[in-house]
Structure 1
Amino acid sequence: MTQGAHWIAGDPVTGGDSFHSDPATGEAQVYPKGTTDLVDRAVRAAEDAFPAFSATTREERAVLLEKIAEEIEARVDAITEVAMAESGLPEPRIRSVELPRTCNQLRLFASHIRDGAYLDRRHDDALPDRKPLPRPDLRLMQVPIGPVAVFGASNFPLAFSTAGGDTASALAAGCPVVNKGHPGHPGTTSLVAEAVSAAVKACNMPSGTFSMVHDGGTEIGRALVEHPLIAAVGFTGSLRGGRALFDLCAKRPNPIPFFGELGSINPMFCLPAAMGARAADIGKAWAGSLAMGAGQFCTNPGVAFVVDGPAADQMIESATAALDETPAQTMLTSGIAEAFRSGSAKMKDGTTHRFGEAAEGRNVTPWLLQTDGDTWAANEDLAEEVFGPLGLVVRVRDEAQMTELAHGLHGQLTATLQMDDEDQGLAARLLPVLTRKAGRVLANGFPTGVEVADAMVHGGPYPASTNFGATSVGTMAIRRWLRPVSYQNIPEALLPADLQKV
């Protein structure tokens, strides 16, 4: 195994300037810094590969995706060891959850493209005798758009990173991928990039089908999204970083789509009947969701709206008791830990501090704050995401204020209703509002589990994501890397094989 290398069109590349990793445990390792020259080499190799790779059959690409999964699984021990050291995540999270999820979604996309329904093939027969004008023969299907840039995410070193959902769906669509590795887990990135490159070679795909360039500062990301041969970008990360890249994509001479998942507070609305029946249970379960994985999930339900009163007190006391039993947890990177501490301190303005304490290094403890509906409405800072185990309870006057505050929410990845049958009247008023605000609305659950499935949407109105019509999880994610083409009166022998005899 070749650790610590860039992978450019199938070859490991080392040398040049380097940087040290910042692991949660163990010694720092040295990795080569990315350069704009490497970005250019990788993108040009992807462009060279595009004609042949986009012309491969669905079956050939499905076999590639399955082979990538096999190569990752063959490295499970090495990947688990390195990912644990870099991220601080426990072994079961890497070995038994995230690595299998990564491989399962690769296989899911293999199955999805074999089915062929994603091509949305259509055929309007010619009507030569139609009056007053004849109709031509028209056939339509989705085609791949070109080389795709994928930015590895910090909070999922496997499932949203080098061979995660963006890469899997882009390769499934027939688009070569240039991956920009995340500096928080460069060793994990290297091992997975090696696995993808081995699969590309084993399946006799064009060498430029996949490349990975390690982090080298902001100029690497800029060079990647501004490269004239990149056709689209997939990104999961912060609002600030994602918006900067989004603006660069929009300012290009040829603007390209930027599919960014940027953050969300994932509001939870606890309706009166449900609170009257099980406020303590809701509080305890909410605390578990808040603290899961040190709160480092983009679907972490960070804000709970409740009607003020004794039930709200019960919920808060139950959540406080549960969080009090939660030990300090290790954040994925030092930067994330520092951002959590500064964000938590900022949130104390306008709120009552119920639970939480300062921590040092990469270890943090949960925080629980509360405020009232009027303060929430007057303080925009309270609606900003604090990435980590922080929860804010907003005590509203009544159902009317709860609905009013729902109308004022920004775009979200998720919105949750905790409700009983007696709450259906209020839920019926809230649901249309939340449907406009979020990509996924759920009842009597918690959004921190994102099912990789056909009906999943992981996206939402801005700032949850930059394109509300897309998802980064689930089979519909493939639509981001496709565009429709209509073929008029083209001889059948010249049509793409998938469009012939349709």
Structure 2
Amino acid sequence: MRLTGHMLIGAADVFGQGAELRAFNPATDETIDPPFGGGGAHDVDRAARLAAEAFDSYSRTDPETRARFIERIATNLEAGAPAIVERCMLETGLPRPRLEGEVSWTVGQLRLFADVVRRGQWRAATLVSADPDRAGGPRPDMRMHKVALGPVGVFGASNFPILYSVAGGDTASALAAGAPVVCRAHPSHPGTSELVGRAIRDAVAASGLHEGVFSLLTGAGHELGEALVDHPEIKAIAFTGSEAGGMAIYRRGQQRTEPIPVFAEMASVNPHFLLPAAQATRATAFAARFVEQMVAGVGQMCLKPGIVLAVAGAGFDVLRATLIDKLSAAAAQTMLSPGIHGNYERGVGRTREAGGVTEIGHGLARQRRFDGEALLFEADARSVIADMRVAEEVFGPMALLIRCASFDEMHEVARHLRGQLSIVVHLDEADHDLARTLMPVFERKTGRIVANSFSNVVEICDAQIHGGPFPATTDPRFTSVGSSAIERFLRPVAYQGIPADLLPPALQDGNPLGLWRVRDRQLVQA
């Protein structure tokens, strides 16, 4: 695949007439060719109108056609993986194995959603038979299923340039729901985005679908994103990024003449609770693994362990000393972009200035301009409770050790935490009674509770939840990872007394799609 610097608006290659954008290699501090033409509001309008034109036909595609289309995207990504990975390495400084893994996970995720489309449970097809003789008045024939909201605007993520970007979970789940996608490429990796976008567009053409099923827009600054959120043909937005960025988009979506849902995955510190019995027996092993996970990907992961809470007592000194020791050998690594590096430095500065917080450990000094140096801070629980801002996310290789005088203090910190994408508890059998008191708090604070492991790796499956209360997301009812992510882009429609030949296939008496359906309160495949 050849890079051209064009946007992909339907079937057309369009070189934006706005300010040109070039990718930047953070490892070498150099810009990279080719130039990309910046898009504007008129490009958004063209893409959104094409998506609206595509909606009626695409949202009514039969399951096999839609599933095969999504599988074609996966196949195209596999074929294009060498070029995609090479370009992405230049634009992000990320290592080849990590990016090859992202391609593999993305392909697996797409194939999962193809399977979801075929299974059809997402339709929630429900039939209630007419009862003309019901006491109190006749009951009409009622049927219900779910349909796509409409065209979806997707913002590519910076930290996972393949897995959470152009062909990531947001795009995959929207396409599975029957929603055309207009994607705004992240300006930090426009070349990667174009290559992936071409793989999707080729699948659109090979599947004989309307060209408006997918478009890719490129541009720096806020104009492009704001125009995408504002466009009346866009009916939902999916975003992965910072709390500030996500909330700006969310507020803009609510201020439209027709407000739309904005599903933003934002901030999380993913606290790890080390309970006393586990701490007494495996503080060393836990600390070593914690540091390893904390610095993975230079801490630029939404599930980075950012806080560890432990009770002063047996094993605490070992925990603290091991954290410091392991961190001292952690190499400073190049961060994804100058902007992310700058935000990390500012977050570190705020932490250093906070009351009751002490810097107790650091990794090796940085060698390059945009390297992130690993850091560890410590604070007692009372100081954190007094100013919970020190327990907020700093995106990068930094963590906070919270020293609790008692389990009650640990419980109190848990109650004061903001919403999280994940919470992890490390426990032995002797800790189960304590853990039992924490579980209701954890359920209120997160969408995913993990025991005796680390939450960095997200298993993409039917049971996964990657979401949680604010500020983890803007809507804790939904996930951005796992098959139920499709629910974000669906809405229910009821059909009362509709003639049989006008009913959608999912609700017809003959059940031509072979779905499991609820019929007169019974789950049947009929």
> TM-score range, shorter-chain basis?
over 0.9
Matched, 1:447 2:460: no
Task: Specify the code of the residue in structure 2 equivalent to 1:47.
Answer: A
How far apart are the structure 2 equivalents of 1:144 and 1:70?
25
Match of 2:518 in 1: none
Match of 2:23 in 1: 21
Match of 2:413 in 1: 405
Match of 2:9 in 1: 8
Q: Is contact 1:289–1:301 with CA below 8 Å preserved after alignment?
A: yes
- Is the partner of 1:416 in helix, strand or coil? strand
Match of 2:521 in 1: none
Q: Is contact 1:84–1:91 with CA below 8 Å preserved after alignment?
A: yes
Q: Is 226-235 or 318-327 further displaced after alignment?
A: 318-327
Change in 2 beyond 3 A, CA 1:15/1:436: closer
Q: 2:301 aligns with which of 273, 297, 300?
A: 297
Aligned residues: 501
Q: 2:84 aligns with which of 79, 82, 100?
A: 79
Q: 1:499 aligns with which of 465, 489, 507?
A: 507
Stretches of 4+ moved more than 3 A in 1?
Answer: 357-360
Matched, 1:334 2:318: no
- Is the partner of 1:439 in helix, strand or coil? coil
Match of 2:433 in 1: 425
Q: CA deviation at 1:310?
A: 4.9
- Is the partner of 1:22 in helix, strand or coil? strand
How far apart are the structure 1 equivalents of 2:369 and 2:478?
37
Match of 2:361 in 1: 355
Matched, 1:200 2:204: yes
Matched, 1:88 2:93: yes
How far apart are the structure 1 equivalents of 2:465 and 2:9?
32
Q: 1:47 aligns with which of 37, 43, 52?
A: 52
Match of 2:442 in 1: 434
Matched, 1:166 2:174: no
Q: Is contact 1:136–1:488 with CA below 8 Å preserved after alignment?
A: yes
Matched, 1:67 2:96: no
How far apart are the structure 2 equivalents of 1:285 and 1:383?
21
How far apart are the structure 2 equivalents of 1:385 and 1:83?
26
Q: Is contact 2:38–2:219 with CA below 8 Å preserved after alignment?
A: yes
Q: Is contact 1:415–1:441 with CA below 8 Å preserved after alignment?
A: yes
- Is the partner of 1:410 in helix, strand or coil? coil
Match of 1:106 in 2: 110
Task: Specify the code of the residue in structure 2 equivalent to 1:456.
Answer: Q
Q: 2:284 aligns with which of 276, 280, 286?
A: 280
Task: Specify the code of the residue in structure 2 equivalent to 1:75.
Answer: G
Q: Is 321-330 or 224-233 further displaced after alignment?
A: 321-330
Q: How well do the aligned residues superpose, as a CA RMSD in angstroms? A: 1.2
How far apart are the structure 1 equivalents of 2:316 and 2:333?
27
Q: Is contact 1:2–1:12 with CA below 8 Å preserved after alignment?
A: no
CA displacement, residues 24-60 of structure 1 (integer Å, 9 cap, x when unaligned): 3464222111211101100000001101111111111
Query: Which stretches in structure 2 are left out of the alignment for 5+ residues?
Result: 512-526
Q: CA deviation at 1:2?
A: 4.1
Matched, 1:121 2:129: no
Alignment of 1:133-172 (within 5 A): 133-172=137-176
Alignment of 1:338-417 (within 5 A): 338-348=342-352, 349-350=354-355, 351-356=357-362, 359=366, 361-417=369-425
Task: Specify the code of the residue in structure 1 equivalent to 2:83.
Answer: A
Q: Is contact 2:93–2:335 with CA below 8 Å preserved after alignment?
A: yes
How far apart are the structure 1 equivalents of 2:427 and 2:157?
34
Task: Specify the code of the residue in structure 2 equivalent to 1:69.
Answer: A
- Is the partner of 1:53 in helix, strand or coil? helix
How far apart are the structure 1 equivalents of 2:475 and 2:2?
37
Task: Specify the code of the residue in structure 2 equivalent to 1:178.
Answer: V
Alignment of 1:213-228 (within 5 A): 213-228=217-232
How far apart are the structure 1 equivalents of 2:212 and 2:369?
40
Q: What TM-score results when the alignment is normalised by the length of structure 1?
A: 0.98
Q: Is contact 1:368–1:391 with CA below 8 Å preserved after alignment?
A: yes
Q: Is contact 2:70–2:111 with CA below 8 Å preserved after alignment?
A: yes
